Amino acid sequence: MRFEYDDPVPYLLVADGSDFIYVDRKLEQVTYLPLSQTPAYFLLREAFSFDDGLTLTDFRHEAGLYRLRIIQEDEPDSGSIVLTFTDRPLSLRQWTVVDAQGAATRVTLVQPRFGMPLDRELFRFVNPWRGNQRD
């Protein structure tokens, strides 16, 4: 996963498969978090199963949309994610991540494209302020 914002927002978010990396370019700070301890892990895990430590805490079907709120059983205070799907056809439309402090970040997919090749380097972060070293 990679989210790179346009100026003036100085943030870069990268998930490299094991870490969730939060970069603040303005402050020249990098924070590494274990991916499995972040709400992003809901979207990025290889297999999504309620038998694998996930708990559905809310389910709604209204106005042609399904909304599911999910938490991790072993980290219930680490946040949650709300997945929003269209019902016809069934397709992920939006997700809202709520972090441990209650701050919500919503991402809406508009004209998504699938199956496109992506360069692996997009998901590798090298700290420009400390070379290859991690903070």
pLDDT tens digits, residue range 17-68?
Answer: 899 999 999 999 999 999 888 878 878 888 777 787 888 999 999 999 999 9
Give the model's pLDDT for residue 134: 58
Cβ count within 10 A of residue 92: 13
Beta carbons of 23 and 12 less than 8 angstroms apart:
yes
Task: Name the pTM for this structure.
Answer: 0.74
Q: Kindly indicate the confidence band of residue 131, based on its pLDDT and cuts at 50, 70 and 90.
A: low
Give the model's pLDDT for residue 46: 80
Q: Tell me how far apart the alpha carbons of residues 87 and 62 are, in angstroms, rounded to a whole number.
A: 9
Beta carbons of 84 and 94 less than 8 angstroms apart:
yes
Domain 46-112 belongs to what architecture?
A: Clam (2.50)
Give the model's pLDDT for residue 117: 95
- Omega cis (within 30) before 89: yes
Q: Quick check: 91 pLDDT over 80? A: yes
Give the model's pLDDT for residue 29: 94
For residue 120, how many C-alpha atoms fall within 13 Å in the half-sphere facing its CB? Answer: 1
pLDDT in tens, 55-76: 899 999 999 999 999 988 887 8
Q: Tell me how far apart the alpha carbons of residues 80 and 40 are, in angstroms, rounded to a whole number.
A: 9
Mean pLDDT (whole number) for 116-133: 84
Strand partners, 85: 66, 92
Q: Which residue matches tokens 């692996």?
A: 120
Mean pLDDT (whole number) for 105-133: 86
Give the domain ranges of the chain. 1-37, 46-112
The secondary structure element, H or E, covering residue 77 is none
Give the model's pLDDT for residue 21: 95
Beta carbons of 98 and 39 less than 8 angstroms apart:
yes
Q: Tell me how far apart the alpha carbons of residues 40 and 42 are, in angstroms, rounded to a whole number.
A: 5
